[in-house]
């Protein structure tokens, strides 16, 4: 039997404002996520507002940059140190814009999840992030877009899909308007649900 008080320690990696981080923190507070708990937040950008969100929630927050580390390898080593220090069982990429190496992703096989603001395999991969995804969707004229949560491997947006949710594209949408709708109707809904499901799975595997 799984100890009901047992939780998976979660690390959230961010590069910007941390809106998905906030959705995760809110989900932990409201009981949507009960099998995991955010223990540390790491940003690869100094001044990322996601770090402030973490501090306000009383969660340890660190900035580790590739530039200061000196190389991708050194950067990842410093991240791994923090993950081990906080005994992390699941890594959540929430608007994290640094590509992780195969060495890193294979080390944490099926222990890293990411959310992407489109229905993979559309508008994904290298160069597709943030507003660029929504600009591409509108330029193509799609009628439906959405969000995808997937496991992370060495290929950008190339890992196994865990959950998706579709969102309608409306007449007159701008990239900003569409981005907000995808966040509210898809990202903030399926990301917490997926994190809970993956954490529960990790706990079951420990039995």
Q: What pTM value is reported for the model?
A: 0.94
Query: Tokens 């190496």 correspond to what residue?
Result: 101
Q: What is the pLDDT of residue 1?
A: 43
Mean pLDDT per 10-residue interval, the chain, length 207 residues: 74 96 96 97 96 97 96 97 98 94 96 97 93 97 98 94 98 97 97 98 92
Catalytic residue among 86, 116, 134, 150: 116
Q: Is 110 a catalytic residue?
A: no
Q: Is the peptide bond before 165 cis (omega within 30 degrees of 0)?
A: no
CA dihedral defined by 59, 60, 66, 70, rounded to 10 degrees? Answer: 180
CATH number for the segment(s) 8-205: 3.40.50.170
Contact 37, 115 (CB under 8 A): no
The residues spanned by each domain of the chain are 8-205
pLDDT score of 4:
54
CA 196: distance to chain centroid?
A: 13
Torsion, CA 116, CA 178, CA 23, CA 130, rounded to 10? 40
């Amino acid at each position: 039997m799984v100890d009901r008080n047992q939780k998976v320690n979660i690390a959230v990696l961010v590069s910007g404002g941390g809106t998905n981080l906030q959705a995760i923190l809110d989900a932990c507070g409201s009981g949507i996520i009960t099998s995991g708990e955010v223990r540390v937040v790491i940003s690869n950008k100094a001044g990322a507002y996601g770090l402030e969100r973490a501090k306000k929630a009383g969660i340890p927050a660190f900035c580790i940059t590739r530039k200061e580390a000196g190389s991708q390898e050194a950067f990842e080593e410093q991240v791994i140190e923090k993950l081990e220090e906080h005994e992390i069982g699941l890594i959540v990429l929430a608007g994290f814009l640094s590509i992780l190496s195969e060495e890193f992703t294979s080390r944490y096989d099926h222990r890293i999840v990411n959310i992407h603001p489109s229905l993979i395999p559309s508008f994904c991969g290298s160069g597709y992030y943030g507003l660029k995804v929504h600009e591409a969707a509108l330029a193509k004229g799609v009628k439906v877009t959405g969000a995808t949560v997937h496991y992370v491997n060495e290929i950008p947006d190339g890992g196994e899909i865990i959950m998706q949710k579709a969102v309608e594209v409306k007449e007159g949408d701008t990239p900003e308007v569409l981005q907000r709708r995808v966040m509210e109707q898809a990202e903030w809904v399926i990301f917490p649900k997926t994190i809970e499901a993956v954490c529960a799975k990790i706990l079951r595997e420990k039995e």
